[in-house]
Amino acid sequence: MWGLHRPRGRRLAAALLLPALLLLSGCTGDPQDTLTRHGTVSDRLTDLFLLVFWTAVVVFVLVEGALIFILFRYRRRPTEDRLPAQTHGSTPLEIGWTIVPVVLLAVMAIPTVRDIRFISDVPSDRGDVLDVNVFGQQWWWGFQYPDSGVVTADAMYIPVGRPVKLTLQSNDIIHSFWVPNLAGKTDVVPSKNPKQKLNTMWLEAKEPGRYQGQCAEFCAQSHAKMKFEVVAVPEADFQTWLQQQNAPAATPTGAALQGMQTFNGLPCIGCHSIKGNPAAVGTFGPNLTHFASRDRFAGNWLENNTENLHDWLKDPPAIKPGSKMPNYNLSDDQINQLIAYLQSLK
């Protein structure tokens, strides 16, 4: 055996300790921790995971324990020079280790099937369902509320305690919608065919909060920066938010008015919509009607402030490689005018 007083032993201990520490430090506190549950769906998923996990732990300890016990108890001793009695087969053992796994798998299969049914669609007894259409594209998320006509990007507002049914569609390649604290992943597939069935999922936040989301299917250069946020607020606040988002953009004045003229003279209007600005009707990029009311932008990657807006407008692909918004080589004057306009879109 290696003793810890020997350098080789110490090196081995260090080599084992470092990965163990890294593993353990990865366990909690992360905003995208799959075991931190704040939703009805994630509750079910975590309970199911823990049931399977602890069943596996018990099986592991019993099997490995028996193995180690037998290895030591029946090892060959120096005084023994004869082979032990040779046996072949044991009917009770054969029956036992066939029945026990069958029972274990049955115990795990029943809640698994029950939970697959539960998460596949909103159960009919859960009250008033909010519908949201989710659009994934390289590299940001758009959210459309079909009942009110609100269109927004990067942050999806939902009311606490109310089930939200998501219909997921991609505008280019396959993405995957994932808010670890609220629900599992669902693939977001492209469809030009209206008859093709799109993937749906549902979630329900149990308490108010901001829950981080992430595209979970590799989708080229800026996949890791294709983030979003689910903001769960009380029902009354949600209704206020909907009304505010549904209103047309504020009429710009002063520097913001000049910024709107600059905006309308650039290719921006071909990709972005701004309700209240009849020139801006593009749908390829995020809807900017209430841009200034958002905390973050650019796939929820940047905090929405003057400095970040400046950096972004100066050279979008430098911040998000492959960005569909190209570098238009805007002058500092143009950038400042655009920022004044964007910041007026409350």
The binding site for ligand CUA (CB under 6 A) comprises: 136, 175, 215, 217-219, 223, 226
The minimum distance between CB 215 and ligand CUA, in angstroms, equals 3
Alpha carbon distance 43, 162 (integer Å)? 15
Helices (H), the chain: 7-25, 40-73, 91-120, 235-246, 254-265, 268-271, 306-314, 316-319, 332-344
How many CB atoms are closer than 10 A to CB 171?
Answer: 16
Which of residues 41 and 215 has its CB atom nearest to ligand CUA in the complex? 215
The minimum distance between CB 170 and ligand CUA, in angstroms, equals 8
Question: 248 pairs with which residues across the strands?
Answer: none
Which of residues 177 and 341 has its CB atom nearest to ligand CUA in the complex? 177
Which of residues 219 and 319 has its CB atom nearest to ligand CUA in the complex? 219
3 state SS of 50: helix
- Assess contact for 161 and 194: CB atoms under 8 A: no
Question: 151 pairs with which residues across the strands?
Answer: 144
Give the Cα-Cα-Cα angle 25, 26, 27 (nearest 5 degrees): 90
Which of residues 223 and 310 has its CB atom nearest to ligand CUA in the complex? 223
Which of residues 139 and 202 has its CB atom nearest to ligand CUA in the complex? 139
Strands 227-233 and 155-159: parallel
How many CB atoms are closer than 10 A to CB 277?
Answer: 21
Question: 228 pairs with which residues across the strands?
Answer: 213
The minimum distance between CB 89 and ligand CUA, in angstroms, equals 54
Dihedral over Cα of 54, 56, 59, 60: its sign: negative
The minimum distance between CB 113 and ligand CUA, in angstroms, equals 30
- Assess contact for 165 and 132: CB atoms under 8 A: yes
The minimum distance between CB 137 and ligand CUA, in angstroms, equals 8
Which of residues 161 and 322 has its CB atom nearest to ligand CUA in the complex? 322
The minimum distance between CB 203 and ligand CUA, in angstroms, equals 19
Encoded amino acid at 301, one letter: W
Which of residues 55 and 171 has its CB atom nearest to ligand CUA in the complex? 171
The minimum distance between CB 216 and ligand CUA, in angstroms, equals 7
